[in-house]
Amino acid sequence: MRLVMIGSGYVGLVSGACFADFGHEVVCVDTDAAKVATLRAGRIPIHEPMLDQLVARNAAAGRLSFTTDLAEAVREADVVFIGVGTPARRGDGHADLSFVHGAARELARNLAGFTVVVTKSTVPVGTGDEVERIIRETNPGADFAVASNPEFLREGAAIEDFKRPDRIVIGIEDARARAVLEEVYRPLFLNRSPILFTRRRTSELIKYAANAFLAMKITFINEIADLCEQAGADVQEVARGIGLDNRIGPKFLHAGPGYGGSCFPKDTLALMKTAQDHGAPLRLVEATVAVNDARKRAMARKVVQAAGGDLRGKTVAVLGLTFKPNTDDIREAPALTIIQALQDGGAAIRAYDPQGMAAAGPLLPEVSFASSAYDAAEGASALVIVTEWDAFRALDLPRLHAAMARAVLVDLRNIYKPDEAERAGFVYASVGRPVPGEAEPLLEAAE
């Protein structure tokens, strides 16, 4: 089938490349001529494992192409996906739908024959109704149907998620659209991936509800971690103990500095605002947003406390800037807030990240960037692990100790064992785990 993906950002590029790999003919459209030129030259503007190979293979096969000419692409399309950004709107937190609405108006002028228009962007409930109204108003004679097909891609594992999804959600109001989208996703039917057809508004809400629930799960275990620290319990064992319950599950129960990224912060906020507008406030989501915002600065206070209460005039090494590993995405990353709070306390920051430094540079003009974790640690009075990159999981602790002015290690991802860090001579702090030595007498008494 002939598919058009409006937007060649994270969602559009990954989805377009994967659809092309299924055998469809895909055109990715973007208004950014420089980005289109970059993609045509075989360079990928985002970091996603294996995406460069997927794009290259399908571009070489003639199934995947890139253009700025939306009109020509849409005229030949069976399905047009809208995969543009929906950032939080400044001032009120609602999702900014201006890019979605603009795409709907432009594509409407060029529809030819029956076309299914699909919102793949994360959009508030009722957006499909507005997209349909815009298209009908712009081109009253158009033969089309509007569907919802939210994405559930994890950055760093997006290709696997697309090709072997937990589920595919499709919201429709027109039986013709169902038949078309069944053909689009037919390769996954053969893999027996669960495909859920719903009404359009239900599909839109599923995406927000899923992200909000996962954000609440992260925030819950982070609050349990705080209690564990005060009560002398181990949050990792608590998480394992509750995660073994099939009703709860182990995923998203890793205590840390709070969630960030391109989805959870804006989607929880947008869902909260939508619920308030409908007179059905979501108090749990509101609390999740507030607790997560507060947590990031609390992690900076943890660093200061571990370092003796004062970092003024001292250097802090920060390992990890992206909101998670295997991406170059720093949007709403906890590291940004933590660094700002440490700078507010008078600390100088030297940071290292395997992929995120180019994007972080403009946002952190007073931060110096290192060439490695060991370079970052040189002369530092504290070292903070913020993102759990594989490159940080087996650091040479004695080498770090020798490089630092004071051996303080604050492990916000619980990568290292407390006794391991202490044997290397570090003052060690982690999240939701007892201080080394506190639990041993109890264990000995029990024996």
Single out the catalytic residue among 18, 28, 228, 263: 263
* Rounded-to-integer distance, Cα 83 and Cα 3, Å: 12
pLDDT of 437 reads: 57
pLDDT of 91 reads: 77
What letter would DSSP give residue 22?
T
Q: Which two tokens stand for residue 210?
A: 């899923």
Element (H, E) at 67: strand 64-67
Q: How buried is residue 441: exposed, middle or buried, by Cβ count under 10 Å (0-12/13-18/19+)? A: exposed
Strands 195-198, 144-148: pairing is unpaired
* Rounded-to-integer distance, Cα 352 and Cα 340, Å: 16
Alpha-carbon distance values, 224 to 199, 220, 244, 246, 256 (Å): 37, 6, 17, 19, 11
- Range 212-429 classified under CATH 3.40.50.720: yes
* Rounded-to-integer distance, Cα 415 and Cα 320, Å: 13
* Contact status, residue 79 vs residue 115, Cβ threshold 8 Å: yes
* Residue 28 known to be catalytic: no
Over the stretch 406-428, which tens digit does the pLDDT of each residue have?
999 999 999 999 999 999 999 99
196: which residues sit within 8 A by CB, 6+ positions away? 167, 168, 169, 170, 206
pLDDT of 73 reads: 96
Within the chain, all domains assigned CATH 3.40.50.720 are found at 2-197, 212-429
CATH homologous superfamily of 2-197 equals NAD(P)-binding Rossmann-like Domain (3.40.50.720)
* Rounded-to-integer distance, Cα 195 and Cα 21, Å: 19
What letter would DSSP give residue 174?
-
| Short-list 399, 347, 398, CA closest to 368 | 347
- 3-state SS class at 348: strand
pLDDT of 191 reads: 72
- Residue spans of the chain under pLDDT 70: 435-447
* Rounded-to-integer distance, Cα 19 and Cα 13, Å: 10
Alpha-carbon distance values, 232 to 242, 321, 362, 383, 436 (Å): 18, 30, 41, 24, 10
Place of tokens 């390992």: 319
* Rounded-to-integer distance, Cα 86 and Cα 266, Å: 9
Q: At what angle do helices 10-21 and 51-60 cross, to 10 degrees?
A: 50
* Contact status, residue 198 vs residue 171, Cβ threshold 8 Å: yes
Q: Which two tokens stand for residue 261?
A: 């990224």
Backbone angles phi, psi at 439, to 5 degrees: -90, -20
* Contact status, residue 103 vs residue 64, Cβ threshold 8 Å: no
Residue 245 sits at the vertex; the CA angle it makes with 243 and 246, to the nearest 5 degrees, is 105
Q: Which two tokens stand for residue 69?
A: 């000419």
Q: Which two tokens stand for residue 158?
A: 């997006």
pLDDT of 12 reads: 95
pLDDT of 440 reads: 46
